[in-house]
Structure 1
Amino acid sequence: MDVERVFEYAREVDTLLIYNASESARDPTFTYVTQTTNGIFEGSALIVGKNGTTIVTSQLEEQAARATGLDVRIFKNSTDFQNILRELLRDVNTVGLNYQSLSLSSYKMLLRIVPDKEFLDVSASILEARKIKQAEELKKIREAAKIGSEVLPDVLDSLKEGMTEYEVASKIVYLMMKNGASGPSFDTIVAFGQNAAMPHYSPGQAKLKRGDFVLMDYGARYMGYCSDITRTVVFGKATEEQKEMYNTVKEAQAAGMKAIREGANGKDVDAAARNIIDSTKYKGRFIHSLGHGVGLEVHDHPALSPTMDFPLKANMVVTVEPGIYVPGYGGVRIEDDVVVTKEGYEKITSAPTYELIEVS
Structure 2
Amino acid sequence: MRFERKDYQIRLSRLRSKRFFQGGVQALLLFDLHNIRYLTGFTGSDGVLVVRPQAATLLVDGRYVTQAQEEVQSADIYCYQDKVDGIVAVLDRAVEDPVGFEASAVSYDFYQKLAERLRKENLTPLSEELYSLRAVKEDREISCIRRAAQLSAGVLEAVSRRIRPGMSELDLALEIDFGAKRAGAERMAFETIVASGANAALPHAKPGRKILEYGDLVVVDYGAVVDGYCSDETCTFCLGSADDRKREIYSRVKEAHDRALDEVRSGVTCSRIDHVARACLAQYGLDSYFTHGTGHGVGLEVHEAPRVSRNTDTVLSEGMIITIEPGVYLPGQWGIRIEDTVLVREDGAEVLTKMPKDLLVL
- TM-score, structure 2 as length reference: 0.90
Task: From 174, 178, 182, give the equivalent of 1:178.
Answer: 182
After superposing the two structures, state which structure 1 stretch, 204-213 or 294-303, moved more.
294-303
Match of 1:142 in 2: 146
Task: From 36, 42, 55, give the equivalent of 1:36.
Answer: 42
Shift of 1:251: 1.2
Contact 2:270 2:308 in 1 (8 A): yes
Shift of 1:218: 1.2
Q: Does 1:259 align with 2:263?
A: yes
Kindly report which structure 2 residues correspond to 1:308-323, keeping only aligned pairs within 5 A, or say none. Answer: 308-323=312-327
Structure 1 residue ranges (4+ consecutive) displaced by more than 6 angstroms after TM superposition:
none
Contact 2:135 2:306 in 1 (8 A): no
Task: From 74, 93, 97, give the equivalent of 2:79.
Answer: 74
Match of 1:240 in 2: 244
Contact 1:17 1:46 in 2 (8 A): yes
Task: From 3, 25, 31, give the equivalent of 2:12.
Answer: 3
**Aligned mates of 1:114, 1:352 — CA distance in 2:** 54
Shift of 1:301: 2.8
Kindly report which structure 2 residues correspond to 1:279-298, keeping only aligned pairs within 5 A, or say none. Answer: 279-298=283-302
What SS is found at the alignment partner of 1:202? coil
Shift of 1:209: 1.2
Match of 2:48 in 1: 45
**Relative to 1, partners in 2 of residues 1:116 and 1:197: Cα closer, same or farther, differing over 3 Å?**
closer
Shift of 1:116: 8.4
Task: From 229, 236, 243, give the equivalent of 2:233.
Answer: 229
Task: From 13, 16, 27, give the equivalent of 1:15.
Answer: 27
Structure 1: where are the runs of 5+ without partners? Answer: 20-25
What SS is found at the alignment partner of 2:161? helix
Match of 1:23 in 2: none
Kindly report which structure 2 residues correspond to 1:119-134, keeping only aligned pairs within 5 A, or say none. Answer: 119-134=123-138
**Relative to 1, partners in 2 of residues 1:14 and 1:145: Cα closer, same or farther, differing over 3 Å?**
farther
Kindly report which structure 2 residues correspond to 1:211-230, keeping only aligned pairs within 5 A, or say none. Answer: 211-230=215-234
Post-superposition Cα deviations, 1:107-158, rounded to whole Å, max 9, x if no partner, equal 1122234348821122222112222222332222222222222211112012
**Aligned amino acid, residue 303 of structure 2:** H
**Aligned mates of 1:136, 1:3 — CA distance in 2:** 17
**Aligned amino acid, residue 98 of structure 2:** T
**Aligned amino acid, residue 154 of structure 2:** E
Match of 1:22 in 2: none
Task: From 87, 90, 112, give the equivalent of 1:88.
Answer: 90
Contact 2:33 2:45 in 1 (8 A): no
**Aligned mates of 1:167, 1:116 — CA distance in 2:** 51
**Aligned mates of 1:217, 1:7 — CA distance in 2:** 37
Shift of 1:167: 0.6
**Aligned amino acid, residue 110 of structure 1:** L
Contact 1:210 1:236 in 2 (8 A): yes
**Aligned mates of 1:276, 1:115 — CA distance in 2:** 53
Post-superposition Cα deviations, 1:323-344, rounded to whole Å, max 9, x if no partner, equal 1111232111000111111111
**Aligned mates of 1:31, 1:17 — CA distance in 2:** 14
Post-superposition Cα deviations, 1:202-257, rounded to whole Å, max 9, x if no partner, equal 11110011111110011112233222110001111221222111111111111001
**Aligned mates of 2:51, 2:179 — CA distance in 1:** 38
- TM-score, structure 1 as length reference: 0.90
Aligned residues: 346
**Aligned amino acid, residue 50 of structure 1:** P
Contact 1:31 1:224 in 2 (8 A): no
Task: From 297, 301, 305, give the equivalent of 2:305.
Answer: 301
**Aligned mates of 2:126, 2:283 — CA distance in 1:** 42
**Aligned amino acid, residue 74 of structure 1:** C
Match of 2:5 in 1: none
**Aligned amino acid, residue 119 of structure 1:** L
What SS is found at the alignment partner of 1:296? coil
Match of 1:356 in 2: 359
Shift of 1:82: 4.4
**Relative to 1, partners in 2 of residues 1:244 and 1:109: Cα closer, same or farther, differing over 3 Å?**
same
Shift of 1:105: 1.0
Match of 1:110 in 2: 114
What SS is found at the alignment partner of 1:178? helix
Post-superposition Cα deviations, 1:155-182, rounded to whole Å, max 9, x if no partner, equal 2012122111111111111111222222
Shift of 1:291: 0.8
**Relative to 1, partners in 2 of residues 1:14 and 1:340: Cα closer, same or farther, differing over 3 Å?**
farther
Post-superposition Cα deviations, 1:291-335, rounded to whole Å, max 9, x if no partner, equal 111122211134221233221111111110011111232111000
